[in-house]
Structure 1
Amino acid sequence: MRMLVRLVLGLFVLKAVVASPRFSRQADLDSYDGANYDVDLDNLNLENPDIYDYEDGLTIDDPLIEIGTLAPPDYNYPVPEASLEEQTEEEEEEELPLTPQLIPQGSGGSGVLMGPDTQKGMPTCLLCTCLGGSVYCDDLKLDSVPPLPKDTTHFYARYNRITKINKSDFASMNKLKKIDLTSNEITSIDDTAFMGLPNLEELVIRENHISQLPALPETMTLIDASHNDIGTKGLHREAFKDMTGLLYLYITDNHIDYVPVPLPDSLRSLHLQRNNIQMMHGDTFCNLKDFNYIRNALEDIRLDGNPINLSRTPQAYVCLPRIPIGDLI
């Protein structure tokens, strides 16, 4: 009898729980956590066990609802809008035009920061590249020398289309030390174009169409006029005599037919290969009046490619530390 009462009580409780519309496992545990029911569900012998879910004690027909175990839905939190002041600053940054920064360079008369204006309507230091005192105008299809800042010390305009060097191109360039005009289309140079340059040391005019080497200041240390059209009359008489600091003289691949003497004692390297030199005198390099004279500096002489037999004039280079390179037969 006691067993029957306990069974009926247990069934009543189960039916009441299942009938609740807000049934949940968690609610069931919270509601009846303190109750003490002695119903032994494991020993129940029900006539129709198929109507039960033996794991949870729920009917198969009722939906299984678990509260508190579902993940919360995705929620996109609104991004706070920028303040009116920040939006204004962003708009100003976007609309602000980019302007070139001017670099103090000095200029040929204008005093403007990016150098004097060129014929293309822009300052030289925008057309070319200015680094310190060096101005690089290589491979820009220039047809003339652009106006340079007065502080220019080194000027490079290689691989352009310059056809002529005028007297005014380098006027008042008192700090200019080097000019490199390699591989242009120069056919003529004003004879005084470089004479007003008190600090000029290096001139490179190779790979052009020059027939006359202009007068050069006594301050020269390097002259390279190779691969031009300089002939017998293309050099001034005693053109290099007073250049007491000249170290390198390159006049290869031209049409000269003699060694341009006298040469300064400072000269270290003389390249005259592939010209039309046919003879040499005994005093070309040495001093026939002073047999003790030795030209120690001149160690590099190139005369190969000329129609001259060096073995015929051995007295011309007995004072040299090395025999010139050329045909000895």
Structure 2
Amino acid sequence: MGQRMKPFIILFLNLLLCQSILAPPPPVDYGDSELSLKDVEQLLELYDYEDGLTIDEPQVEIGTLSPIRHKAAIPEPEHTNIFSAEHELPPQKPLPRLPLPPDALGPQTQRGLPTCLLCTCLITTVYCDDLKLEYVPPLPKNTTHFYGRYNKIKRINKNDFANLNKLKKIDVTASQIAEVDEDAFRELPHLEELVIRENQLRQLPELPSTMTLIDASDNKLGRTAIKNEAFKDMDNLQYLYLADNKLDHIPVPLPHSLRALHLQNNNIQEMHEDTFCNSKDMSYIRKGLEDIRLDGNPINLSKTPNAYMCLLRLPTGRLI
């Protein structure tokens, strides 16, 4: 019963407190009896509340604040330019165009274009591959490497490479070349590599002694295509490729610097004992020449065993 009466008593105390502030409390009508303030206090002591509420300490309900219905207007930051009007850079004047030297793009070709517009020039290397050229274009004087592969040149004249004192390599693979003037390459003081394979060449031209690589494979070089002792003074020659021709002999003497000799698929039928070795010095050993290709020739290598005594590796070819 005490728990049921508790809310009524609290309500009653709150009303009584408000009346006591304004006026002396009149008698309170509570059912059939009249209760005074003193009677109420005695009544509270009778029920013995555990929450310790008194008249002077009214219970207050704690709630939550209502949410803000309208957000406060937050001013957006002003967008300012990094450079103000007073800090603007002055307008840039275009750089003056310096006139190019007359030979900057190479000499003029027969097609009405400078060589370096017709071909591709990278520093001192000139690429003229697969342009259907019928001639060697005039090259800049500082050219060191020339590539004229897959063209229709047919003939190399003596003036095509004249005065190119820095030229080191010429590659004219598969360009239908049938003739080369005898002195087309002879006067080039620094020429080291000539690649003239897959053409129609019948005569190998004279070459400078500075050569390190000669590749004239897959041509029509025959019995008299190479002059006697053509490679004798080439002390730096390391690679000699003459495969797939019509040669009937090995071009001797071969320089001691030689490392590879390719003569496969020719018409070589015999070999001398001094071709690679020195028959007068049986202690001589040729250490550099390790790659000799004689396969595809009508020669029996087993007939001349003394010709290979100085070699570290036997030639490749028929031994039976």
For normalisation by structure 1, the TM-score amounts to 0.67
| Aligned twin of 1:72 | none
| Aligned twin of 1:267 | 258
Q: 2-side partners of 1:268 and 1:231: how far apart?
A: 24
1:188 aligns with 2:170: no
1:298 to 289, 292, 309: 289
| Aligned twin of 1:201 | 192
Deviation of the 1:132 alpha carbon = 1.1
| Aligned twin of 2:121 | 130
Q: For 2:188, give the aligned amino acid.
A: L
Q: 1-side partners of 2:99 and 2:222: how far apart?
A: 46
Whether contact under 8 Å (1:143, 1:160) holds in the other structure is yes
Q: For 1:166, give the aligned amino acid.
A: N
Matches within 5 A, 1:1-20: none
Deviation of the 1:103 alpha carbon = 7.7
| Aligned twin of 1:254 | 245
| Aligned twin of 2:145 | 154
**Secondary structure of the corresponding residue to residue 122 of structure 1:** coil
Whether contact under 8 Å (1:102, 1:113) holds in the other structure is no
Taking structure 1 as reference, are residues 176 and 103 closer, same or farther at Cα in structure 2, changes over 3 Å only? farther
| Aligned twin of 1:232 | 223
Taking structure 1 as reference, are residues 311 and 164 closer, same or farther at Cα in structure 2, changes over 3 Å only? same
| Aligned twin of 2:94 | none
Q: 2-side partners of 1:132 and 1:270: how far apart?
A: 33
Q: 2-side partners of 1:213 and 1:186: how far apart?
A: 12
Deviation of the 1:287 alpha carbon = 0.2
Whether contact under 8 Å (1:286, 1:317) holds in the other structure is yes
| Aligned twin of 2:277 | 286
**Secondary structure of the corresponding residue to residue 130 of structure 1:** strand
Q: 1-side partners of 2:116 and 2:286: how far apart?
A: 45
Taking structure 1 as reference, are residues 150 and 323 closer, same or farther at Cα in structure 2, changes over 3 Å only? same
Q: 1-side partners of 2:115 and 2:204: how far apart?
A: 28
Gaps of 5+ in 1: 1-88, 90-98, 105-110
| Aligned twin of 2:59 | none
Deviation of the 1:102 alpha carbon = 8.7
Q: For 2:312, give the aligned amino acid.
A: P
Deviation of the 1:112 alpha carbon = 1.6
Q: For 2:105, give the aligned amino acid.
A: M
**Secondary structure of the corresponding residue to residue 248 of structure 2:** coil
**Secondary structure of the corresponding residue to residue 224 of structure 2:** helix
Q: 1-side partners of 2:279 and 2:262: how far apart?
A: 23
Deviation of the 1:219 alpha carbon = 0.1
Whether contact under 8 Å (1:102, 1:114) holds in the other structure is no
Q: For 2:244, give the aligned amino acid.
A: D
Matches within 5 A, 1:211-226: 211-226=202-217
| Aligned twin of 1:308 | 299
**Secondary structure of the corresponding residue to residue 267 of structure 1:** coil
| Aligned twin of 1:175 | 166
Structure label with greater radius of gyration: 2
Deviation of the 1:277 alpha carbon = 0.1
Q: 1-side partners of 2:100 and 2:260: how far apart?
A: 40
C-alpha offsets along residues 15-61 of structure 1, whole Å, 9 cap, x if unaligned?
Answer: xxxxxxxxxxxxxxxxxxxxxxxxxxxxxxxxxxxxxxxxxxxxxxx
Taking structure 1 as reference, are residues 291 and 209 closer, same or farther at Cα in structure 2, changes over 3 Å only? same
Gaps of 5+ in 2: 1-90, 92-96
The structure in which a higher percent of residues are helix is 1
2:135 to 127, 144, 153: 144
Q: For 1:126, give the aligned amino acid.
A: L
How many residues end up aligned between the 2 structures? 226
Q: 2-side partners of 1:293 and 1:172: how far apart?
A: 42
Q: For 2:293, give the aligned amino acid.
A: R
Whether contact under 8 Å (1:150, 1:173) holds in the other structure is yes
Over 2 Å off, 4+ runs: 101-104
Q: 2-side partners of 1:323 and 1:276: how far apart?
A: 20
Taking structure 1 as reference, are residues 102 and 311 closer, same or farther at Cα in structure 2, changes over 3 Å only? farther
Q: 1-side partners of 2:99 and 2:267: how far apart?
A: 52
C-alpha offsets along residues 119-167 of structure 1, whole Å, 9 cap, x if unaligned?
Answer: 0000000000000110000000000000000000000000000110000
Q: For 2:317, give the aligned amino acid.
A: G
Deviation of the 1:196 alpha carbon = 1.0
Taking structure 1 as reference, are residues 278 and 102 closer, same or farther at Cα in structure 2, changes over 3 Å only? farther
Q: 1-side partners of 2:99 and 2:257: how far apart?
A: 43
